[in-house]
C-alpha cells in the first residue's frame, strides 16, 4: 500500500476518534438523557396556511380558541367570531387581499413552505419536555402572521391545554428590514432583530412557555432577578440540550466566548459594584433585560450578562443538590440557592 494511502487512512481514523471523543465529552458534560423511546403527542397547526387557503370553516370548527384570539385580538377584524360567519369570511378575504399581507405571506412562504427541520426540533424538545415533566401535557403549536404585531404568546387551548402562537413574520431574518417597519419601536432595535430568524424560532417559542411556567419574579433585588433569569436559561438548556449557547443566550459567538473567558471577572464586577442586593433597577436593568451592552464592561460584553451568571449559579446549585426541575421552580429563596450552589467561578 502506498504511503499516502496509509497516511490518509490514519487521518480518517483520527478524525473519527476525535468526533466520537467530542460526542462522548458533550454527553458527559451536558448530562443529556436518552429520550429516543419517549412518545409524545406533537401537534403543530399551520394556521397561516389554512387561512391563506381560505379554509375558514375548518379553522373555526377545529381551532376555536386560537381562532377567537386571532380574529378578535391579534388582527382585530371582528368583535366576535360568533356573529355572522358570512360577514366574517368577507372580511377575511379582504384581509388576505391587502398588499402588505400578501407581501408578508410571500416572504413567509418562501422561507417556511418546508417545515421539516423545525418540526424535528420541536419533536425532540417535546421528548425532553416529557422526560423532565412527565405529568404535564404537551402544548399545541400554532403558526400565524400578524403584520409584525406578535412574536410568541401562550394561551389556554381546548381541554385547558397550553397553546403557543408562533408569529412567523417575526422570524424572517434578513429578508425584512425590521427597523424600517417602525423606527421608533425599541422592539425592532438591531441587537434584538438579529435573532428574528429561523435558527431562534424553536428557542423563542419554548422561552414563552418557560416564562409562563416559572411565573413572574416577585423579587426586587438584583440577585433575585439574576437567579430567576438563571432558572429560565437552565430549563431552556434542558429542553434544548443540543442547541448552541449562542442561540440560548442570544449572544453573538464573540460575545459568548468573552463571557466564558471572563466568568470570574463578571461575578467580581457585580460584587465589587455592590449590586447583588441592590433594588435600584435603573442600576442593573441592562444586565438583566435585553440591551445592546453591559455598562461598565468592555464593548464586546453583551447585555444580559447577569443572565449568564445566573445560569452558572443555577447549574452549580443543581449539581450540588441533585434537585429536580420542578423543585427548582418551586424554590423561591434566591439567597439559599446561592449558598447551596457554593458558586466559585472559573474562566474557560
Q: Which domain holds residue 256?
A: 222-341
Angle at 222 between CA 217 and CA 226, to 5 degrees: 65
Instruction: Verify that 208 and 66 share a domain, yes or no.
Output: yes
Mean pLDDT score of the chain: 91
Q: Is residue 306 part of a domain?
A: yes
The string of pLDDT tens digits covering residues 122-180 is 999 999 999 999 999 999 999 999 999 999 999 999 889 999 999 999 999 999 999 99
- Give the C-alpha separation, 231 to 312, whole Å: 10
Q: Is residue 27 included in any domain, yes or no? A: no
- The reply to whether 64 and 206 lie within a common domain is yes
Q: 290 lies in a domain?
A: yes
Residues 298 and 165 in one domain: no
The number of distinct structural domains making up the chain is 2
- In this structure, the answer to whether residues 117 and 194 fall within a common structural domain is yes
What's the rounded Cα separation, in Å, for the pair 309 and 8?
Answer: 44
The three cell numbers locating residue 133: 415533566
Give the start-end residues of each E strand in the chain. 44-45, 140-144, 152-156, 162-167
Extract the C-alpha cell encoding 309: 451568571
**Helix 222-239 / helix 281-288 crossing angle, nearest 10 deg:** 10
| pLDDT tens string 301-338 | 999 999 999 999 999 999 999 899 999 999 999 999 99
Which of these three, 153, 181, 214, is where a domain ends? 214
pLDDT at 4 over 60: no
How many separate helices (H) and strands (E) can be counted in the chain?
18, 4
Same domain (yes/no): 208, 68: yes
Residues 52 and 186 in one domain: yes
User: Cα–Cα distance between 66 and 152 in angstroms, integer?
Assistant: 13
How far apart CA 323 and CA 18 sit, in angstroms, is 33
Helix (H, G, I), strand (E, B) or coil at 229: helix
Regarding whether 257 and 195 lie in a shared domain, the answer is no
Amino acid at each position: 500500500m502506498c504511503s499516502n494511502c496509509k497516511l490518509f487512512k490514519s487521518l480518517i481514523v483520527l478524525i473519527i476518534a476525535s468526533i466520537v471523543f467530542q460526542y462522548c465529552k458533550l454527553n458527559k458534560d451536558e448530562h443529556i438523557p436518552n429520550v429516543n423511546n419517549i412518545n409524545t403527542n406533537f401537534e403543530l397547526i399551520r394556521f397561516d396556511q389554512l387561512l391563506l387557503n381560505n379554509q375558514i370553516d375548518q379553522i373555526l370548527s377545529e381551532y376555536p380558541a386560537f381562532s377567537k384570539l386571532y380574529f378578535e385580538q391579534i388582527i382585530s377584524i371582528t368583535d366576535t367570531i360568533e356573529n355572522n360567519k358570512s360577514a366574517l369570511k368577507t372580511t377575511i378575504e379582504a384581509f388576505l387581499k391587502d398588499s402588505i399581507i400578501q407581501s408578508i405571506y410571500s416572504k413567509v412562504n418562501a422561507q417556511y413552505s418546508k417545515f421539516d427541520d423545525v418540526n424535528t426540533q420541536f419533536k425532540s424538545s417535546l421528548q425532553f419536555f416529557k422526560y423532565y415533566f412527565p405529568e404535564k401535557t404537551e402544548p399545541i403549536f400554532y403558526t400565524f402572521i400578524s403584520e409584525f404585531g406578535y412574536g410568541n404568546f401562550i394561551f389556554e387551548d381546548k381541554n385547558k391545554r397550553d397553546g403557543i402562537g408562533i408569529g412567523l413574520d417575526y422570524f424572517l431574518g434578513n429578508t425584512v428590514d425590521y427597523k424600517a417597519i417602525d423606527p421608533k419601536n425599541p422592539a425592532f432595535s438591531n441587537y434584538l432583530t438579529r435573532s428574528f430568524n429561523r435558527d431562534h424560532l424553536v428557542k423563542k417559542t419554548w422561552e414563552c412557555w418557560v416564562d409562563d411556567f416559572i411565573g413572574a419574579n416577585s423579587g426586587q433585588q438584583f440577585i433575585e432577578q439574576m437567579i430567576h433569569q438563571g432558572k429560565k436559561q437552565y430549563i431552556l438548556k434542558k429542553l434544548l440540550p443540543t442547541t448552541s449557547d449562542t442561540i440560548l443566550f442570544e449572544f453573538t459567538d464573540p460575545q459568548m466566548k468573552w463571557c466564558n473567558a471572563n466568568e470570574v471577572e463578571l461575578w467580581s464586577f457585580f460584587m465589587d459594584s455592590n449590586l447583588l442586593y441592590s433594588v435600584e433597577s435603573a442600576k442593573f436593568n441592562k444586565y438583566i433585560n435585553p440591551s445592546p451592552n453591559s455598562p461598565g464592561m468592555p464593548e464586546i460584553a453583551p447585555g444580559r450578562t447577569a443572565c449568564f451568571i445566573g445560569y452558572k449559579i443555577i447549574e452549580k446549585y443543581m449539581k450540588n443538590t441533585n434537585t429536580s426541575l420542578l423543585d427548582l421552580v418551586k424554590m423561591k429563596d434566591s439567597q439559599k440557592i446561592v449558598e447551596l450552589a457554593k458558586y466559585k467561578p472559573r474562566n474557560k
